């Protein structure tokens, strides 16, 4: 995950916008995780296909040009490259409290839910 943009929202006191690019090699996946409790996230697939499951919704596959979102407090149970042969990437745009420095916490991390 690489931060590509970050800026305080001038018209929403105490909030900032952070954009990150997540690159997945073929077959790669992230651990189940939570994001900062204040985070609303818009995710846009830049390349390839991404399989995602948020909370108890059924897993979905998103293709290049498709998008999804996560509400604050969501549990991202699955985030992975749906292809075993092609890389994939997504742009995740966070609207988050300015004080929230940690954007993503894997479930296996101390203090995670």
CA distance 37 to 28: 25
**Domain membership flag for residue 18:** yes
**Domain membership flag for residue 22:** yes
**Domain membership flag for residue 13:** yes
**Domain membership flag for residue 105:** no
CA distance 21 to 65: 14
Torsion on CA atoms 43, 68, 55, 25, rounded to nearest 10 = -50
pLDDT at position 1, please? 85
Task: Report the number of distinct structural domains present in the chain.
Answer: 1
Q: Which domain holds residue 76?
A: 2-100
CB distance 37 to 100 below 8 Å: yes
Q: pLDDT 10s digit of each residue in the chain, 113 long?
A: 899 999 999 999 999 999 999 999 999 999 999 999 999 999 999 999 999 999 999 999 999 999 999 999 999 999 999 999 999 999 999 999 999 999 999 997 555 45
**Domain membership flag for residue 106:** no
Q: What does the longest C-alpha to C-alpha distance in the chain come to?
A: 44
H-only helix segments in the chain: none
CATH number of the domain at 86, please. Answer: 2.60.120.10
**Domain membership flag for residue 113:** no
Q: Answer yes or no: pTM beyond 0.85.
A: yes
CB distance 104 to 33 below 8 Å: yes
**Domain membership flag for residue 107:** no
In this structure, the strands spanning 67-70 and 40-47 are: antiparallel
CB distance 49 to 105 below 8 Å: no
């Amino acid at each position: 995950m690489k931060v590509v943009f970050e800026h305080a929202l001038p018209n929403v006191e105490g909030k900032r916008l952070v954009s990150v690019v997540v690159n997945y090699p073929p077959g790669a996946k992230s651990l189940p995780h939570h994001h900062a409790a204040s985070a609303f996230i818009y995710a846009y697939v830049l390349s390839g296909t991404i399989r995602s499951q948020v909370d108890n919704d059924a897993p979905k596959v998103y293709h290049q040009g498709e998008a999804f979102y996560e509400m604050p407090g969501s549990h991202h149970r699955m985030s992975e490259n749906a292809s075993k042969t092609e890389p994939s990437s997504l742009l995740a745009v966070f609207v988050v409290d300015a004080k929230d420095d940690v954007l993503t916490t894997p479930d296996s991390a101390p203090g995670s839910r």
